[in-house]
Structures are given as structure tokens and as C-alpha cells.
Structure 1
């Protein structure tokens, strides 16, 4: 029984190499810059681990397990991709991001009700040369 507990703790505490820190070797599949409610927002999409390869919903090159990292107003959000049909969308249950229209993506937050943030593509992100 002790070996089982030890194994479970090892699995729970294991951190994938790409999540270990800023020197991460994983590169984003896509980077975009937006203005949301007048403030800059950076969006980076990562492939992530495909934990259910039998699921056929692979839209825009993002399989289940993909995630987006949003940086906005001093907050960094990592939102997992949903398995909704159609264009990719990302949510953690509170925040929602969906670039159905890449020029005006949907960005929402649930706080009691749903707050919607108006977003539009910016000309260049902070990573641009």
C-alpha cells in the first residue's frame, strides 16, 4: 500500500519539462496581439499534450490538450481548449476565449453574471521585431 501511495504522489508531483520554467523549449503555435477594452492583450496558443487522440475534433491545428496563454492587465491566464465542435475555444470555467473571428475574438469572464470584453486585433505584439 505504501508503494501505491508513493507512486501516486510521484505522478501528481511530476511536472512536464515544458512547464518547468521560462526556459521552456515549447514554442507557441500562434501568437497574436489584441486590444481588449483599450488594454493590450497577448495570446499564445500551445499544442499541449494530446491526452485523447481518438477525439476527432482537431480544428485550426489544435487538438484536445491544447491551451492558450493570455496576458492582460497584469494577469496571466492559461486556459485549456474545450472539445466543443467548430472553431477552437478555451475556458477554465470562469474565463472564456474564442478567436472565432480573429479580428474580434470573444473574451468573457463569469463573475456573478457574464462580463464581455470588446477585443480587436492590434498591429503588433511585444514580440514583434
Structure 2
């Protein structure tokens, strides 16, 4: 994902900015950092701005494309044309996202 990107999610603009904090948290290591995915490591975060709210979501340690969650919100860009953006509010609410024109 680029330094920042924008989509339209559920009719409103959403911006995403990855922040690499994980390498700083790990410091110098003798062994490589496990589970590096698309240049991210556990400890990295993503800042999502949507509907006047900024969410700071930590990267999960799931295999595959990097995903981010705080337990309520979840974000993953496996398909850049349609990122996966969800919220748990009793049930899971999925927001349809498409590229910003």
C-alpha cells in the first residue's frame, strides 16, 4: 500500500496511512522479524480517517495480506479495488469500499 491512499467506503471518503512502529519496538535482533507481510511487521499500525473519526488500528499477526484490528474495527487491503472494512456492533457490519475517483 502507498504512503497513504483513499477510498469511498459506504458513501464517505476514507483515507489510510500506514505507520511503521514495529521495527522500532523490536530494536536490533539477531534473527529476522517473524511474519513480515508486504513490508509490515507486528507492531505496525494503520491510521484510518473516516466520517470525522481517526482510528489507529494495530497490525494483526494473521498470515496473508496485512490486516489491522482493535477488536471492534477491522481493515485489510487484499484487493486494492475493494478493501475489506468492518465493524463489530453486536453483529459484524461490512462497509463497501471502492477506489476514490
- TM-score, normalisation: structure 1: 0.69
Equivalent in the alignment of 2:85: 107
Count of paired positions: 95
1:51-84, Cα deviation, whole Å (9 max, x unpaired): 4565421111011111100000011000000000
Distance in 1 separating the partners of 2:35 and 2:22: 15
More strand by share: 2
Q: Which residue of 4, 11, 15 maps to 1:42?
A: 15
More helix by share: 1
- TM-score, normalisation: structure 2: 0.87
- How do residues 11-90 of structure 1 correspond to structure 2 at under 5 angstroms? 30-50=3-23, 51-52=25-26, 55-90=33-68
Unaligned runs of 5+ in 2: none
Q: Which has the larger radius of gyration?
A: 1
